[in-house]
Amino acid sequence: MNKKYVVITGASSGIGYETALAFAEKKKHMILVARRKEQLSALQKKIQEQYPELEIIIKVSDLSKKEEVYALYDALKIYEIETWINNAGVGTFGALINNELKQIEQLIQVNIEATTILSILYARDYANKPGAQLINVSSAMGYVIGLGNVAYSASKFYVSVLTEGLAAELKNATLKAKVLAPAYTDTAFIQQSSEKKSVATNIQLRSPQEVATYLLALYESEHILGIVDEKNQFTLSDARFPVFSL
């Protein structure tokens, strides 16, 4: 029997790192993607020390560069991928007019462009593969307008609409497209941000480990959306956006 793999982008830290550990417990072979080789290698070693029977492949890729996005997917065509998780993301803080445009450009390249390209390529190849799943990590901020974080909110709105729309288009296919929308998570980006103090005092931060359990629950469910809702509770549900057929 051919090996099947779970691909996780942004796997070197935070949600991606903890998701890799969670899938290792499920005895899944994995392909872990990130920019930082040293951190990926350390994660690979950690998993294989505990689960030596698992094959853990690492791929170094900067998803803010379009040519590397395509090169990554092309390099992975030799593997059978049962689940593709687009977790890599870039954040911003502060009023939109005060954000550095280069940072906004990088946010668009990673959150929107790379997620779109990888989602479409995977969906094209695996639409009719039994058991295949595409999980895109959005945010609860992708279902509201987050003042003080508008660019990030807008990019995650795009991810949510893209994924829910793809799920609707694949209604009669075997591939399942799903979107995870967690609340603020205590990642390195939050920790390094000058806004961390105000975020921490006003909003409950989830740990990456907790968000990884959300992702696993979504993976194991038949639902399209896993979201931290208005009551600050994680729930699984059908798509939120209305669908209009042209």
Please give the full DSSP string across 28-73, using - where no structure is assigned. Answer: -EEEEEES-HHHHHHHHHHHHHH-TTS-EEEEE--TTSHHHHHHHH
Residue type, 42: A
- Every domain of the chain and the residues it spans: 4-237
Range 66-73 average pLDDT: 98
CA 191 vs CA 54, 121, 153: distances in Å: 32, 33, 19
Distance CA 11, CA 21 (A): 10
Mean pLDDT of the chain: 92
Nearest-Å Rg of the Cα atoms of the chain is: 17
Question: Rounded to two decimals, what is the model's pTM?
Answer: 0.92
| pLDDT tens per residue, range 142-162 | 999 988 899 999 999 999 999
173 pLDDT exceeds 80?
A: yes
| pLDDT tens per residue, range 181-223 | 998 755 555 444 444 444 444 566 779 999 999 999 999 999 9
Distance CA 119, CA 102 (A): 24
| pLDDT tens per residue, range 98-133 | 999 999 999 999 999 999 999 999 999 999 999 999
Question: Which of the four CATH numbers 3.40.50.720, 3.40.50.10300, 3.20.20.70, 3.40.440.10 does domain 4-237 have?
Answer: 3.40.50.720
SS3 174: coil
Q: Which two tokens mark 9? A: 């982008």
